[in-house]
Every structure is written in C-alpha cells, then in structure tokens.
Structure 1
Amino acid sequence: MSGAQDRLERLVRRVQAQARVPAVAAALHRADRPLWTCEVGQTGNDTVLGPQTRFRIGSVTKTFTSVLVMQCRDDGLLDLDDPIGRHLDLPAHGDLTVRRLLSHTAGLQREPYGDVWDTLRAPDVDELVADLARAERVLPTGRRYHYSNLGMALLGRLVGARRGGTWAEVLTERVLTPLGLAATSVTPGPAAATGFLVDAYSDEAHPEPPTDFGAVGPAAQLWSTATDMARWAAFLADPAALDPAGAVLAPSTLDEMRWPVTTTDETSWAAGFGLGLILLPYPERVVHVGHDGAMPGFLAAVYGRRGGDGTAGAMGCAVLGSSGTAAEVLELPHRLLAAAAEHDPAAIEPWRPGEPAPGPLRGMLGRWWGEGFEYVFSWHDGTLRARGADDPAGKPPAVFAPLADRPDVFRTVSGREVGELLRLTRDEHGTVVRMHWATYRFTRHQETFDRYDFRAG
C-alpha cells in the first residue's frame, strides 16, 4: 500500500473507531488512478462487509432526481421557469416553479402533510397529491433557502409524468444503466448493511426499522455502494470524463446545476445550493459538489472535487456509514479528497507548442486597458482569451468564440462577462485600434472615460 493510500485508510479507520460507526465504506474515484476502496467494521447481519455492501444513501437520491429533471429540460419537455402545475394536476402549490423546487427556494414545507417520522409511513402518490392542499407555504417563494423533501417528491412525480413511467423506471433507464451504476437501486438487495442508532452513553447499537419512502422516494429512497457513489460524485464534478458523449447529461447542463442559486446560511456563507446540488467552497478556488444523506440508521456523503492544484480529473469520493448519528461520516469525504489532492496530486502535464493565432488576430494580442485597469489578451488552445493583468494564477480567463455571421465580433463563452460581446475596431490598415467588451472601451493605453490618454498627456 502506498503512503498516500495508507493515509486515506487511517482517516477512515479513525472515524469508524472514534465516531463508533458499526460499518463504514469509503471509495475514491479519479481518472488517473485505480479505484480506491476501504471498508471497516461489520454489516450487523450475516453478510460480509465489502465493496459490494449497500447502504441507504438518503438525500443523495435528490441529485439523481435533479439530473432527471434537467434531462427533461434539455429534451424540451419542460422549462425550469414553468409552474409545476402546468405539467401536473395539483390541488395546491401548482404555481411553484421547477427552478424554485430544485433549489429549495420555493418556500414549501419540509415534509409531506402528517407525522411521517413518527409513523414511518410515507404517502403513496395519490395521498401525496391529495394532501398538498393541507401542506403549507412556510415562507414566501424566493425569500430564502428552505429544504423540502416534499418539493423533491413533486419533482420526481413530474419526471415520471413527462417520461411516461414511474420515477424509479425512468431513473434506471436514463441514469443508472448508462453510467454503469448497477449496485444502485430503490431496494437494499441481498448484500445490505443494517442501520443502527448507537447509544450516546454505552456501546449498544440498536437496529433501526427498515423504511420505504413511497411517493417521497425521489427525495431519499436509494441504496448504493461506496464504489457506485464515488463514480456518481465523479460524474457530478467532471461529466465529460465519465459520459463523453453526453448521453446522460451535457457538461454544460452540469455547469448550470453547479452554479450557486442561494446560500444556505445568511451570515456564514460556507455552503451554497445550486439546482439540486450542495456546493462547498474551499481555498484556492476548490469546490466540492454533491450531497449528504440521512435516513434512520444511515448517513452518507457523496462529493466530487473541482479546481485547485493537485485535483485529478473525474475526482469523486463517497463515504457511507451504518449509524444515524455519526456526523463525522459527513465530513470524511472532504478530508479524503483534500488528502488525496495534497499527498497524491495529479501529474502536471507538460506544456507543448500549439498553433499560432489566426492572422487577423495576431496584432491585437497583448496588453489593453479598460475602465482604468490593464488586461492581457492572448491565444491559447485554439481560443482567444483575456485576463486581468493582476489576476491570481488560478483564476480562469475569459474565453471568446467568434460569431460566424459578424466579422470581428466575439461572444464571451466563459469567465468574466460571460455572454457579453467583444467587438474589434480596425483602422484603414486593418490594425485593431480599439475594442468594446460588454460596451466598455478598451484601448492600448490607459485612458479616462472622456478619452484622456495618459501617455499623450
């Protein structure tokens, strides 16, 4: 075992022992290394703990439902700003939009009507819909983040209705099978760990009752292995690596899902929420994207890593535990991802000479001034780019794409001023003497807004 792998295993073993988790399974997926797995403890039944052991993953299920919703959007079956009542016959709350429900900003109450966690009986589809009239709008729509299992259950119902099947059928056909997640299912299967509540003041571990979440399944029903979930986390972080043809979802759609819609706390901006995904920022422009899960007897945390020095492609980690109270399980994948990037970093690819910039653009490369600040325009990897002269090294540049029908006009496709136009102005000799980016004037020398040239002055 390498030193880096030994370090990862010790992290897992420490959490299992100190947090007193009957069984912990962890897996780390990355494009440049074999899959790493580690299991510590016992299943609590007559099956052997191993990479094939399934755990309840709880609300990690929401990430799958969210991907299914975005598939429907990409296929033209709905718009994110559609009221859900446009597609489902609902007795109440039909005005809530798909986007608000995905981002938990709809203001809908957290759970279905009734005491689900007392009875452990979830409603079926007919009951869920009928009881909507008794469910509250606990906050004004768009006011703030408010987590809602009920909202995600409605989105699962929406997916099934638009695809002509059940949520579970659509999930298997359109996500699990294409990505090879054969150990992920709505039922535990024959090789599942038992979930426990570990007593706070003794070593007793009491098994929790099994639960079927019925119509609320799209929010929390799934079972899976750490191996499958590490692969899923890698997909959420780097979909092009696991799904190069975009059969499940286009990388640009995952980019959209990862954009923060809201913060989860108004004073401590330690976490954001996108379209169905939790976003955790770290120093050096690193973000972990995924979701946590909690069900009676189980905790799960599934996250992919993006950005930062040492981060490998398709880097995802999952930690699944058979205790409902060991919160350390939820922090562990973040520690494993950070340790892997630090102690077993991705290789640094060598730089290689590339093709020169097209002739009409060569003369405009270099330093320009806009709004009193200096920028550097360059040509790399076949694209025109720009970045502030004082930008930190890790900050992504703005990238431009030419407009086929408008010479010397480019669209900003990523980075600063994304979506805005860049227009080049040439003199009678064809030299670019001025540019306008998002309508702001850019010149070769620093100028005031009324065109006072400091070099001339």
Structure 2
Amino acid sequence: MTTWDEELLPATRRALTHRIAVAQAEGRAPSLVAAVVRGGRAVWHGARTSVDGHGPDEDVQYRIGSITKTFTAVLVLRLRDEGVLDLGDPLEKHLPGTGAGEATIAELLAHTAGLAAESPAPWWERTPGSTRPELSDVLGEKPLLHPAGRRHHYSNPGYTLLGALVEELRGAPWEQVLRDEVLQPLGLHRTSAQPEAPHAGGWAVHPWADALLPEPLEDLGLMAPAGQLWSTTGDLARFAAFLVQGDDRVLSAESVREMRTPAAPAESADVVDGATYGLGLQIQHRDGRLLAGHSGSLPGFLATLTFSVADDVAAVVLANCTSGPAVGAVAADLIRIVAEAEPRIPEPWRPLREVDPSVLELAGPWYWGTHPYVLRVLADGITLGPLAGGGRRTRFRSNGDGTWMGLEGYYAGELLEAVRRPDGAVSHLDLGSFVFTRQPYEEGAPVPGGVDPEGWRGIAQP
C-alpha cells in the first residue's frame, strides 16, 4: 500500500503530466515547468519543451514577478515578530517623508493603503529601474488615490515602500536582507534578484501566428521588492512547504498562518471564487477548496505558487511567455488531481499524554441560550463549537492560568474562562461576555437578563 511519504501513483503522475501538456500546447508557451509538493517535499516535477535546447528541470530559473511580494511580506513579518515594528504602525513612524506615511504597515501588506496600482509612466515593467532613482519617482506627485484603509486596491508601489522599510530598519539593501534572512535559511540557493544560468529567456508569442519576440529583461530598481526575483520550481516548492508549515528560523507556523488569513476583500470587479488577500498572500475558494499563494507576471514570464493547507498539497507553475497558459488554473488543477486521486491520509489518533482533571471536567455539551455547543479536550488544546451544523467554531490555546485564548474566527483573541462557585464547582463558561451553561437557561446561572423563575412550561391548547 502506498503511504503518504512515498511517490505519487503512476496514474496520478500521468494525469499531472497530461494537464501541463495541455496547458503548454493550448497556451502556446515556449516552455512550461511545474512541481507538486506533498507532505513538505516535492513529489513530482514536470516540464514541456526546452530552454536553450534542453528540457527544463527543477533547477532552471524563471522570473516569478509578484510572487516576490510574498518574500517581502515575510521580511516585514520578521520585523514584527522581533518587536521592531507593529503592523498597526503608520509608515511615517519608521520611514518618514514618503507622502504616504498615514497608511499603516498592515494596510500596505494587504493592499488597502489607498496607493495607486502602478508607478507613473512609463510602464515600470518594461523600463530600467534606474529611471526612478528616488521613492518620489515611484510614488508620483499624488501617491494616494483612495483614503487609507477604506478599500482593497492592489498596489505595486506599496511593496516598494515595504522594501524601503526593510532597508531602513535593517540598515542593508533589500536583496541582501532577503538572502541572509530567508533564502539561505530555507535553502533557496537558486532564487536571486538577477538571472543566474541556467535560466529561461522571456518571450512574447504572436497572438495570430506561431512566432516569437524576445521581451526585455529589465532590472526594476526600487520596484524590486514588488517583482524582481528569479526562481525555480525546486526552490519555490521548498518555499511553498514553508508557507504551509512555517520554519522557526524564518517565521513560526503561527505567523505564516496569519499571512494567509484574509485581511481584505478583493476589488468587487475582480472577485473570482471568493478571492481575498491576506498579508502578502492571495486567497481564494476554488472548486470547494481553500487555496492560498501568489501569482506573478512580468513581460516574458508567468508564474504561480498555490497551496491547500487542508489537503497538504501545493503546486508551482512557471512559463516563459507574456500571456498564454492560465497558470493559476493549472496549479489549482494539479492540486485537485492529487487531492482527489490520493486523498490526504490523516495522522493517527493518539490519546493525551497527561489528563488535567480540571480541564477534563469541562468537556461535553454546553448551551448558549438554547443553542447546544460542545467543548472538546484535544491534544493540541480545546475546541468549542456548535454540536451540529455551522456556526462559531473556535480553537483555544491555554494561557497557563486557567483561561484560554481564541485562535480563529469570531472568537479570535477573546478570552474563555471557566467560572467556579465558592465550592470549586464549575458554574459556567464566560467567553467574551457570552455565558455558556450546562443546561439551556440553567436555573441559578448568571444568564444575562436572568431566567424566568417559573421555568420551562407548556402552553394550554384551546
């Protein structure tokens, strides 16, 4: 029997190869490479056609465009985790004089700072970065198009500001900080700001003829933190595993979970399958599956990195053409193929190593008003949620003092406490002022508004 740690089944591998073959042929891409990650490691690599006369492998670089933003976001979250900044800080506190300083760091990460989508003309993706030597050249005379914090508006200059913030607080160039703090610890030795052989060339494909035109490979200068990087399917597979699991040398699992937590809805005109944006990651529901990651494009290149935490599967797709294959849809299909053909094998259930009687007595049904909830005591904490159906379901982490902190959903950050009577018996649960009792509207419990002293009753029929 195939275990989760073994290679994919032959039928699954063929289905993956077929999907990228169709994408490359119908999308008319000079070359297309892809990788699938499962269980924290790459389990499949596929490639179609050639680069410089050779079939591209997991070591050939392609330009990854805006996937660079996710790397920049990791650097900013590292500064937050070290206590150097707070995501609620206005940019002006750390990087004064930009003209966009009222926007917070969190708003810049989530593209809700109100900044323009692009820098002033000429189009920055096809002009040398040296034409914009100062931040003022990137932002223009009127950097804010919308009030900060009011709407999601994707902004490339916003990530230029975040890169400048990293440089200001680290006292070193963005590229050096990225290499020292992210690329080297994660072993991403084939990810770089400048192309390193072997690498693909960027091409434009004629829309009505099977002809090619080389695209310029510009250095983006100050715009680099928004889209400069080159990488490989091998490196991006390792980066995808990091974004799922975290790595304490770079960011904890909790911090990467925060990155993929929705922070802003997408523009209404651009919403597809419930798309949202986190802190440097795009999030969407597709085919009933929650996916996170980031897409990227620059003249001559298309890229995407996508993962499903629930399925523990990620996919990377890279192509060297300005337009053609829908690489985001291809990556989502690669995840679907693996998840449906070889569903995730759950971890074995194991009992608790130790049982705290004061916690165990809280397990079981509780009632918020007449709504039945159940509290479960699990190996990784406790959960509280509706007995059946949908509703406010939350995991809690112990604070070590008999209280618990909500980790997600409606109760994220809220305090759960088991309130005891003078004799030590549990009276009720208090969760952010909500009272949960062992019986619906339990007599003698401190139910807000009180409980009718005559209790439950019927109504006489006429």
Structure 2 length as normaliser, TM-score?
0.88
Distance apart, 1:124 and its partner CA: 6.2
Residue 306 of structure 1 is matched in structure 2 by 309
The more displaced of 382-391 and 110-119 is 110-119
Residue 31 of structure 1 is matched in structure 2 by 39
Q: Is the 8 A contact 1:113 1:135 kept in 2?
A: no
Q: Is the 8 A contact 2:416 2:431 kept in 1?
A: yes
After superposition, what is the alpha-carbon deviation per residue over 1:351-370, rounded to whole angstroms, capped at 9, x for unaligned? 23334642223333211110
Counterpart of 2:141 (choices 134, 154, 170) is: 134
Aligned mates of 2:119, 2:422 — CA distance in 1: 69
Distance apart, 1:429 and its partner CA: 4.9
Gaps of 5+ in 2: 1-8, 442-446, 458-462
Mark the CA change 1:150 to 1:328 in structure 2 (over 3 Å): closer, same or farther. Answer: same
The more displaced of 372-381 and 290-299 is 372-381
Residue 431 of structure 1 is matched in structure 2 by 425
Distance apart, 1:47 and its partner CA: 5.2
| Other structure's SS at 1:35 match | strand
Aligned mates of 1:247, 1:33 — CA distance in 2: 18
Aligned mates of 1:134, 1:171 — CA distance in 2: 30
Counterpart of 1:179 (choices 170, 175, 186) is: 186
Residue 174 of structure 2 is matched in structure 1 by 167
After superposition, what is the alpha-carbon deviation per residue over 1:338-377, rounded to whole angstroms, capped at 9, x for unaligned? 1111112222333233346422233332111103200111
Counterpart of 2:404 (choices 410, 417, 425) is: 410
For 1:307-346, what aligned pairs fall within 5 Å after superposition? 307=310, 311-312=311-312, 315-346=313-344
After superposition, what is the alpha-carbon deviation per residue over 1:395-443, rounded to whole angstroms, capped at 9, x for unaligned? 99523344444xx533334455122222323346533232222211211
The more displaced of 132-141 and 444-453 is 444-453
Could you tell me the percent identity over the aligned residues? 33
Aligned mates of 2:27, 2:182 — CA distance in 1: 34
Q: Does 1:84 align with 2:80?
A: no
Q: Does 1:9 align with 2:9?
A: no
Distance apart, 1:144 and its partner CA: 1.3
Distance apart, 1:324 and its partner CA: 1.0
Distance apart, 1:34 and its partner CA: 5.2
Q: Is the 8 A contact 2:156 2:226 kept in 1?
A: yes
Aligned mates of 2:307, 2:104 — CA distance in 1: 28
Aligned mates of 1:14, 1:152 — CA distance in 2: 34
Residue 460 of structure 2 is matched in structure 1 by none
Counterpart of 1:190 (choices 175, 197, 201) is: 197
The more displaced of 22-31 and 135-144 is 135-144
Distance apart, 1:86 and its partner CA: 2.4
Aligned mates of 2:360, 2:454 — CA distance in 1: 25
Counterpart of 1:143 (choices 114, 130, 150) is: 150
| Other structure's SS at 2:375 match | strand
| Other structure's SS at 2:188 match | coil
Distance apart, 1:192 and its partner CA: 0.8
Residue 362 of structure 1 is matched in structure 2 by 360
Residue 4 of structure 2 is matched in structure 1 by none
Aligned mates of 1:75, 1:125 — CA distance in 2: 32
Q: Is the 8 A contact 1:445 1:454 kept in 2?
A: no
Aligned mates of 1:354, 1:177 — CA distance in 2: 37
Q: Is the 8 A contact 1:279 1:288 kept in 2?
A: yes
Mark the CA change 1:34 to 1:298 in structure 2 (over 3 Å): closer, same or farther. Answer: closer
Mark the CA change 1:118 to 1:62 in structure 2 (over 3 Å): closer, same or farther. Answer: closer
Distance apart, 1:282 and its partner CA: 3.7
Distance apart, 1:118 and its partner CA: 8.3
Residue 104 of structure 2 is matched in structure 1 by 97
Q: Is the 8 A contact 2:40 2:238 kept in 1?
A: no
Counterpart of 1:257 (choices 256, 259, 263) is: 259
Mark the CA change 1:131 to 1:446 in structure 2 (over 3 Å): closer, same or farther. Answer: closer
After superposition, what is the alpha-carbon deviation per residue over 1:131-173, rounded to whole angstroms, capped at 9, x for unaligned? 6452432222222111111111111111112111100000000
Distance apart, 1:287 and its partner CA: 1.9
Counterpart of 1:389 (choices 368, 387, 390) is: 387
Aligned mates of 2:238, 2:259 — CA distance in 1: 18
Distance apart, 1:117 and its partner CA: 4.5
The more displaced of 117-126 and 409-418 is 117-126
Gaps of 5+ in 1: none
Distance apart, 1:277 and its partner CA: 0.9
After superposition, what is the alpha-carbon deviation per residue over 1:82-102, rounded to whole angstroms, capped at 9, x for unaligned? 222222243522222211111
Residue 6 of structure 2 is matched in structure 1 by none
Distance apart, 1:454 and its partner CA: 9.6
Aligned AA (1:450)? G
The more displaced of 421-430 and 143-152 is 421-430
After superposition, what is the alpha-carbon deviation per residue over 1:26-60, rounded to whole angstroms, capped at 9, x for unaligned? 011112765310010122x3555222211110111
Aligned AA (1:41)? T
Residue 281 of structure 1 is matched in structure 2 by 285
Mark the CA change 1:388 to 1:177 in structure 2 (over 3 Å): closer, same or farther. Answer: same
Q: Is the 8 A contact 1:371 1:440 kept in 2?
A: no
Q: Is the 8 A contact 1:231 1:316 kept in 2?
A: no
Mark the CA change 1:454 to 1:261 in structure 2 (over 3 Å): closer, same or farther. Answer: farther
Mark the CA change 1:38 to 1:120 in structure 2 (over 3 Å): closer, same or farther. Answer: same
Q: Does 1:73 align with 2:80?
A: yes
Residue 450 of structure 2 is matched in structure 1 by 450
Aligned mates of 2:126, 2:365 — CA distance in 1: 67
Aligned AA (1:400)? F
Aligned mates of 1:132, 1:29 — CA distance in 2: 38
Q: Does 1:297 align with 2:291?
A: no
The more displaced of 22-31 and 374-383 is 374-383
| Other structure's SS at 2:185 match | coil
